[in-house]
Each structure stands twice: as C-alpha cells, then as structure tokens.
Amino acid sequence: MKTMASEKIILGIDPGTNVMGYGLLKVAGNKASMMAMGVIDMRKESDPYLRLGRIFERVTGIIDEFLPDEMAIEAPFFGKNVQSMLKLGRAQGVAIAAAIHHSVPIHEYAPLKIKMAITGQGQASKEQVAGMLFRLLGIKEKDKVPFMDATDALAAAYCHFLQAGRPETGVNYRGWKDFINKNRSRVSQLTGNAGNTTDRLPQTVKKTITETKHQNK
C-alpha cells in the first residue's frame, strides 16, 4: 500500500511474441527499488492470436496485483524483417491496450534511450544493461531471473524513473482518446474499409473513436 503522495509504482514492459518481460519499481522520493520482475512465457502456445490473449490476461493480472501508477514500455526495434516487426507491434499494442483499459498512463521509450539512461552507452549489450541495473538497484544474485527480457523491462521502468523532473521526450498515452489522437493512421485502418472490425473493440473504445471523429469534422 502506498502511504505517501511522493510514492508511486512503475511497471516496465519489454514486448515480445515468445517471451515478454515485466518489471516493477517502487519509487519513494528520489529512490527506486525493485518490487518484482519476471516474464510471460508463450513459447508453448502455437496460435499467435491466443498468445496475444495471454499477453492481455497476464498484463491485466499484473496491473490488478501491483496497481502501478504508470507504465513504461520499450518501443519496437525497426529491423529488416517486416513480419517480425508486425508481430512485435501487435504484442506491444496489446500490452498498451491492457494499461489503457485500466487508466494507467503509458510512456514509450526507444531501446537506444533506455540503454543510454542506464549505461551511458547506446550500443550497450543486454548483459551490460542488466549488470548496471543490478548495481544501481542493489539486486542480489538470488533475485535474478534467467531471462534478459525481465531485466530489459525493469530497465524501461528505471529509464522512466530517471526522467522525473526532466522534459518529456518519450511517447505517452493518457487514455483511449489520447491514444487515438496520436495514432490516427492505425484507427483509420479499423474504421475505414475493415468491415465490422470495430465491433470487436471494447465499447469504451468504440465510443471514443466516434466522439473523436465528430470533433475533428
């Protein structure tokens, strides 16, 4: 339970289609400590859409359990494999949707920015990021996890913690309406010639899309 106005909890997410990492920081004033970290392992699930459902369920469960005040998520890395990028984008989108559905503000950071914030080097390896993070947070050997996805997620949360009091440089969403306004091209794909695609969206999302379209006429 949070007892002071200066205390808050940050949920970090490292998107993935096979393994998705998560990490939670408790911030009290100018100090941060690790609450938990782990992974959502979907390697046994062959159906890609059921994997997305698994992501939504687990991220929702983590939010319900820890009640984070904010979520920091790593932006997809733009590689050469288009199909991999599309799959990763879907995974990230589902995690974002889970947070927005719970009215948790989202902050998105590029991998380069996270590495720079933790190690001071944009080309740092995952091992270097994890090692520095363990020292900064005083994480003991017994608390470490075998997947780097978890430490990457914790790094995203710590990167956001370091941004406190600084000018906002990442992408952030404060609700469905804000998400729609900043992602008009994605929304137009749903509301254009996509048939009944929007029928599968939550009622609150459909209402916000309609209101936003009317306001911008």
Q: Output the pLDDT for position 62.
A: 98
Partners of 13 in the beta sheet? 22, 73
Residue 10: band (very low, low, confident or very high) from pLDDT cuts 50, 70, 90: very high
Give helix 126-137 / helix 148-162 axis angle, nearest 10°: 60
Q: Output the pLDDT for position 198.
A: 45
Q: Output the pLDDT for position 97.
A: 96
The arithmetic mean of pLDDT across residues 187-201, rounded, is: 47
Residue 165: band (very low, low, confident or very high) from pLDDT cuts 50, 70, 90: low
The kind and range of the H/E element at 96 are helix 82-101
Neighbours of 36 (CB within 10 A): 16
CB 78 within 8 Å of CB 146? no
Q: Which range is least confidently modeled, 41-45, 47-51, 78-82, 181-185?
A: 181-185
The arithmetic mean of pLDDT across residues 71-87, rounded, is: 83
Q: Output the pLDDT for position 195.
A: 43
**CA gap 11, 37 in Å, rounded:** 9
Beta strands in the chain (DSSP E): 7-14, 19-28, 31-41, 70-74, 106-109, 171-173
Please name which of 206, 172, 200 lies closest in space to residue 75, comparing C-alpha atoms. 172
Q: Output the pLDDT for position 200.
A: 46
Q: Output the pLDDT for position 140.
A: 83
Q: Output the pLDDT for position 197.
A: 42
Sorted by sequence, the CB contacts under 8 Å of residue 196 that are 6+ apart come out as: none
- Which amino acids are annotated catalytic? 14, 74, 149
Q: Which residues of 86-118 are buried (b: 16+ CB within 10 A; e: fewer)?
A: ebbebbbbbbbbbbbbeebbbbbbbbebbbbbb
Radius of gyration of the chain (CA): 18
Look at 206 and 184; give whichever has higher pLDDT: 184
Look at 125 and 84; give whichever has higher pLDDT: 125
**CA gap 7, 85 in Å, rounded:** 36
60, pLDDT greater than 90: yes
Look at 124 and 140; give whichever has higher pLDDT: 124
